[in-house]
Every structure is written in C-alpha cells, then in structure tokens.
C-alpha cells in the first residue's frame, strides 16, 4: 500500500511538472506566432496567436487563464488519486497536491504580473500619444529613440508599439507609419544620427 502511495506521489508531482512544461511551450509558440503577426502588421491568424493576443489584452484575461490552468491541474491530480487509491488517499497526498498547486500558482502569478506591467506601460504610451497634437512626429521620435538604443533597447516597448500599431485610430496609424518608415530606413541602410552601422535590429520581444 505504501509503495503504491509513493508511486502515486511521484505521478502527481510528475503531472504537475509536465503540465507546466507543456503550458510553457504552448505559450512560447503562441508568443512567437503573435510576434510574427505583429511585425507583419497583420491580425493574429492562428489559434495560438489569437490565444496569446487575448491573454495580452488585459490582466483579467491573464487571471482567467491562470484560474483555468490551476483548475485543470487540480482536477487531473485529484481524479488520478481517487481513481488509483480511493478518496482516502487525498489526506495523505494533500501536502504534495498543495506543493504542485503552489508551483502552478507561482507561474500564474508571474504571468499576471508581466501582463499587468505591459498593460500599464501600454496605457501610459497611449495616454501620452493622445495628448499630443502631432501624433506622427511623436511616434517617429519614440521609434527613433528606441532604435538608437540598439541591442540595449527595451524589447517590451517594441512589443507595445507594434501592438498599438494595430489600433484603428489616429494613434495606431501614426505608430504604424513611424514603424514602416523606420523599416524602410533599415532596409536602405540609412542609420539615424548616433547609431552605429553595425547595430542590428533585434526585433521585438518580451520576457
């Protein structure tokens, strides 16, 4: 009996770890596809890209995703325990179940915090742009400044700019034009003042 419970403990922990790894890979694939769509100024067209876009829309969406992930892990591990050893095994497995759930909760919190910070910065950027009369010039200044940072540039700000470029309003149009112009400059080999010709455009990215 004890041996069976020991095996079940390993299975429960293994399920939690494997599920997190799968979730991580799915998220990363979705992120890569979403970033590819953003840099082509197109709407998300794959399921994973749409999922990642939905997650990044608000902190509430990230929270909903987290609740769903925690619920799935909890249901799977509890169902496995009851199926193999009966409901009595839950008392013995409770510390291990809590450990697995704690790991998942930590990952979920990291995602929620990351999305919240990005959403806050995006709101700040949009508020700043909204108050500017010459939105095109403001967008160009932001893009030029960010590009001048080279590899040290904030990938999260690139991400926010490309997201904002999707907006069907004057702010989105201004940012999109600025990004288009910068891309043309890069393709023609025109470097802004203060930027080395060896500087490579590392694209956009988020942690």
Residue 3's pLDDT is: 67
In this predicted model, what pLDDT tens digit does every residue of 121-135 receive, in sequence order? 898 888 888 888 888
Q: Residue for token digits 């997201």?
A: 163
Mean pLDDT is highest, among 2-11, 77-86, 154-163, for 154-163
In this predicted model, what pLDDT tens digit does every residue of 151-160 receive, in sequence order? 766 788 888 8
15 pLDDT more than 80: yes
Q: Which two tokens stand for residue 104?
A: 């998942």
Residue 188's pLDDT is: 76
Residue 98's pLDDT is: 86
Output the pTM of the full model: 0.76
Residue 113's pLDDT is: 92
Domain range list for the chain = 1-118, 132-190
pLDDT band per the 50, 70, 90 thresholds, residue 202: very low
The long-range contacts involving 94-103, CB below 8 angstroms and separated by at least 24 positions, are 96/9, 96/12, 96/13, 97/12, 99/13, 100/12, 100/13, 100/15, 100/16, 100/73, 101/16, 101/70, 101/73, 101/74, 103/16, 103/17, 103/20
**Average pLDDT of span 55-80:** 88
């Amino acid at each position: 009996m004890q041996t069976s419970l020991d095996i079940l403990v390993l299975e429960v922990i293994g399920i939690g770890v494997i599920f997190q790894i799968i979730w991580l890979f799915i998220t990363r694939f979705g992120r890569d596809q979403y970033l590819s769509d953003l840099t082509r100024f197109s709407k998300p067209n794959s399921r994973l890209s749409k999922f990642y876009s939905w997650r990044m829309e608000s902190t509430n969406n990230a929270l909903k995703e987290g609740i769903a992930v925690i619920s799935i892990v909890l249901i799977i591990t509890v169902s496995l325990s009851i199926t193999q050893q009966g409901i009595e095994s839950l008392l013995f497995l409770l510390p291990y179940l809590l450990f697995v759930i704690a790991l998942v909760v930590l990952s979920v919190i990291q995602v929620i915090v990351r999305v919240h910070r990005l959403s806050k910065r995006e709101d700040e950027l949009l508020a700043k742009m909204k108050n500017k009369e010459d939105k095109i010039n403001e967008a160009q200044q932001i893009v030029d400044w960010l590009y001048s940072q080279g590899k040290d540039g904030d990938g999260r700000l690139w991400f926010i700019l490309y997201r904002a470029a999707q907006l069907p309003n004057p702010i989105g149009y201004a940012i999109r034009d600025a990004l288009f112009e910068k891309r043309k400059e890069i393709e023609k080999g025109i470097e802004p003042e203060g930027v080395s010709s060896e500087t490579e455009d590392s694209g956009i990215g988020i942690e």
